[in-house]
Amino acid sequence: MEIEKKIRTLRESLHEHNYLYYIKDSPEISDYEFDQLLNTLVALEQQYPEYFDPNSPTQRVGGGITKDFKTRSHRYPMYSLSNTYSKEELTDWANRVEKVLGDEEYAFTCELKYDGASINLTYENGKFVRGVTRGDGSLGDDVSTNLRTLPTIPLTLIGDYPPVFEIRGEIILPFDGFQALNEQRIQRGEEPFMNPRNTASGSLKLQDSSLVANRPLECFLYALAGEDLGVDTQMESLEKSRSWGFKVPDTAKYAGDLEEVFQYLDYWDKNRVHLPYEIDGVVIKINRFDQQKILGHTAKSPRWAIAYKFQAEKATTKLEAVSYQVGRTGAITPVANLSPVLLSGTTVKRASLHNAEQIEKLGLRIGDCVYIEKGGEIIPKIVGVVNENRPEVTHQIKFINHCPECHSVLVKETGEAQHYCKNQYGCPPQIIGKIQHYTSRKAMDIDGLGNETVALLYHQGLISNIADLYELERAALLPLDRMAEKSVDNLIEGVEASKNKPFSKVLFGMGIRYVGETVAKKLVNAFPNIDLLSEASREQLIEVDEIGDRIADSLIEYFGAPSNIDLINRLKNSGVQFHTEISSSSSDILRDKKFVISGVFENISREELKEKIESLGGTVMIAVSAKTNYLVAGEGMGPSKRVKAEKHNIPIIDEASFFELVNI
């Protein structure tokens, strides 16, 4: 017990000194003294491995190896922000907010938009549990081992933190650290990194955490997520997060009106050059959390927040040529091939031209000197032609008439900006793209079938459509390049596991034009099996919420093709799910019932539980009230919800009781 107490005391002391050094910037001991304490702890932990703790300060040095980063779903979606580039658009956004909130007074918070890699951290009882990348907003990669090496991510918290919560932040690489890192690489004869943002993002996916530990990464935190957090506003949440031990820059500002927001924007547009790290704009949020809930979200973005982007850096270069790419839908995208030029820290050689109309609008000619910038400082685009001193020799750009891959005649439909190759069953990029879409994370999420592997299998003649995936044999896969036994096993197991994916995922993965994730769910709710959907009339389809003429026509065209019906039958015979889990006869079992969900659940995420309740006709409420029928309680539920439920005599049920209630 004496040894255990000594180890615990050393850990607490090192955590405290780490906090004082990296967060408070007020160290109380020298680096030498810190290293001596750390070395003592390392020796004790090696001698007494039974006292191992994943959140020990010794884990900061790394050494853990991660071969495959596990995919995890976000309990609370990490939405992207809508962007604006002008004060007029920002005013329009504020007017929309005011229209919803009515006569309620509201205010803003303004925060710098850090340019790095977004991350979501989970803490339970003051201990770091895991860190997951943003990914697609719903699913991300678990990079906990690497994040434990960052000294600005506290492994244990201080103060009055909630029992269970999540916190969002940005992993960044300050300029000084980036420069020092590149100097070391140059001395070793290695290529320097191109920019801090990409280096920070790439560092999170290094397999050896000791390499991450040697990179001067920092984590800035900016948003809490969870239940009963004990804070009511964004500004208060920043202050609380700072008090718990997180690194929260002091650049955020409360703004009582738009004029104060504009002053903040003007200040940082001029002074961002003096910051020791990259930013690409400002995030403006409605300060009060109750008002954020009223405003809600669209499918992609919160209505209570917006990103104001500073004007992007421009560069000039020569348009050398135009090439053409074919997408999975057959859309033809022209691509500008440019003389290489450095822009915002990266070398740009190519830029999308979108379509023939864009080329005509810009008046582009081969040989022109053009202005390029990065849309949102990420995607390069041509924004104009340098008309002064235009070269004497330029060549008109003639948009192609035939597909560059299969040579089919291109079609430009009325009302469409793009040209299309209609040879969807014989054009290689379309075939490969459709299979890649089916296997992608948002669709069937088939482990072991990345984009490169799909292309390899197609070019080797092993697959030509999605149904072929279910007929792949181990013996045919093993001889292929980069396909070791483990890779083949993962692929076969991933394909087999995809047979359990719900009908809505399958329908989205089939790649029917205009049928995205949301539309697929709407259709599955209205037509609980593929036979009902494929036989639905145009009138029946249009009756479904959010299904208009264009989507209805696309569905009728798809199901009218015999080859697609054959494909569906093959998928059916392979065991792929073409019906909903819940029969239509029981879909209203929770009609008129109102639920509040709180806490963390063992076998289902909060979002999945919400979808389950809504699919059965129930309603999910934000707060407990006298109108609530059930409070579904998970681990870490806040005490205030329990008190309110007991006050109104509302049944409090756990996860198992809920499934008993609906007989699932």
CB of 110 closer than 8 Å to CB of 283 = yes
User: For residue 122, which phi and psi values (nearest 5 degrees)?
Assistant: -115, 135
Catalytic residue among 24, 67, 99, 113: 113
> Is residue 163 a contact partner of residue 636, using CB atoms and an 8 Å limit?
yes
Of 188, 167, 162, 192, nearest to 179 by C-alpha is 192
Number of C-beta neighbours around residue 545 at 10 A: 8
Q: How many other CB atoms sit within 10 Å of the CB of residue 664?
A: 12
User: What are the helix and strand counts (H, E) for the chain?
Assistant: 24, 24
Q: State whether the Cα torsion 357-363-367-372 is positive or negative.
A: negative
Judge residue 80's burial from the number of C-beta atoms within 10 Å of its C-beta, 0-12 exposed, 13-18 middle, 19 or more buried: middle
Residue 240 parent element (H or E): helix 234-244
Q: Using CA atoms, how far apart are residues 225 and 137, in angstroms rounded to an integer?
A: 14
Q: Is 521 a catalytic residue?
A: no
Separation CA 591–CA 613 (nearest Å):
9
130: helix, coil or strand?
A: strand
The pair of structure tokens assigned to 313 is 């850096």
Q: Which residues of 557-590 are buried (b: 16+ CB within 10 A; e: fewer)?
A: ebbeeeebeebbebbeebebbbbbebeeeeeebb
Cβ contacts of 547 within 8 Å, gap of 6 or more: 519, 522, 523, 541
Q: Which residues contact 459 (CB under 8 A, 6 or more apart)?
A: none
- Looking at the DSSP bridge assignments, the partners of residue 409 are 402
User: 182-206: buried (b, 16+ CB within 10 Å) or exposed (e) per residue?
Assistant: beeeeeeeeeebeebbebbeebbeb
What type of residue is 659? Answer: F
Query: Which are the catalytic amino acids?
Result: 113
